[in-house]
């Protein structure tokens, strides 16, 4: 994936900004089941691809059956989850899988590492992404590309996370979308 910023809209207004942006891929974090069809249709019209965070879809159980339904019914670009069973089901459905890991303490990190080894996701999302030395450690331990998300507030922090080994940054900060949109236009 060759997109440094993955917009993660936190509201419908932000989702509309994403649809108008030059970014081709975005992340839908929190939504409810009844909105997915509308969101998916809007994205198709705008020629955008979506990752859905399966754990944060209200009204959909975040298990292999909910994942199978999400993949078959809405055909997302990718699925994000903390659960290895969801990741494995997404892979069975030929949907890109992103295993999210929260770095809250050493115990949580080790549990996440075991889950990642079991699920073998296509990508790992490290949170908070502002802890760049941990991005480097995860990158060195696993041969999966890394997304960094959470608590990245400035372009400098984006660049630090990318330098530490992340391939993309998931962010709801519209200011970062706008900054990197301008960089995209200036590079073309």
Q: Which residues on adjacent β-strands are paired with residue 126?
A: 101, 148
Handedness of CA 52, 37, 93, 88 (dihedral sign): positive
pTM: predicted TM-score of the whole model, two decimal places: 0.95
Q: Using one digit for the tens of pLDDT, what is the confidence trace for 142-162?
A: 999 999 999 999 999 999 999
Q: Are the beta carbons of 149 and 171 closer than 8 angstroms?
A: yes
Under 8 Å CB-to-CB from 124, ≥6 apart: which residues?
98, 99, 100, 101, 116, 138, 142, 144, 145, 146, 147
Confidence (pLDDT) at 165: 97
Q: What is the DSSP letter of 54?
A: G
pLDDT band at 182 (very low <50, low <70, confident <90, very high): confident
Q: Using one digit for the tens of pLDDT, what is the confidence trace for 11-57?
A: 999 999 999 999 999 999 999 999 999 999 999 999 999 999 999 99
């Amino acid at each position: 994936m060759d997109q440094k910023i993955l917009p993660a809209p936190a509201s419908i207004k932000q989702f509309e900004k994403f649809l108008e942006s030059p970014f081709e891929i975005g992340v839908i974090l929190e939504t409810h089941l009844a909105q997915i069809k509308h969101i998916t249709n809007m994205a198709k019209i705008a020629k955008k691809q979506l990752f859905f965070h399966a754990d944060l879809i209200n009204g959909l159980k975040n298990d292999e059956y909910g994942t199978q339904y999400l993949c078959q019914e809405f055909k997302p670009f990718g699925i994000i989850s903390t659960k290895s069973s969801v990741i494995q089901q997404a892979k069975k459905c030929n949907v890109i899988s992103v295993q999210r890991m929260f770095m809250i303490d050493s115990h949580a990190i080790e549990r996440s590492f075991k889950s990642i080894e079991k699920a073998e996701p296509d990508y790992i999302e490290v949170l908070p992404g502002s802890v760049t030395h941990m991005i480097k450690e995860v990158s060195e331990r696993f041969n999966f590309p890394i997304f960094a998300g959470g608590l990245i507030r400035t372009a400098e922090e984006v660049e630090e996370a990318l330098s530490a080994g992340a391939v993309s940054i998931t962010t709801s900060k519209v200011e970062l979308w706008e900054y990197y949109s301008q960089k995209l236009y200036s590079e073309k």
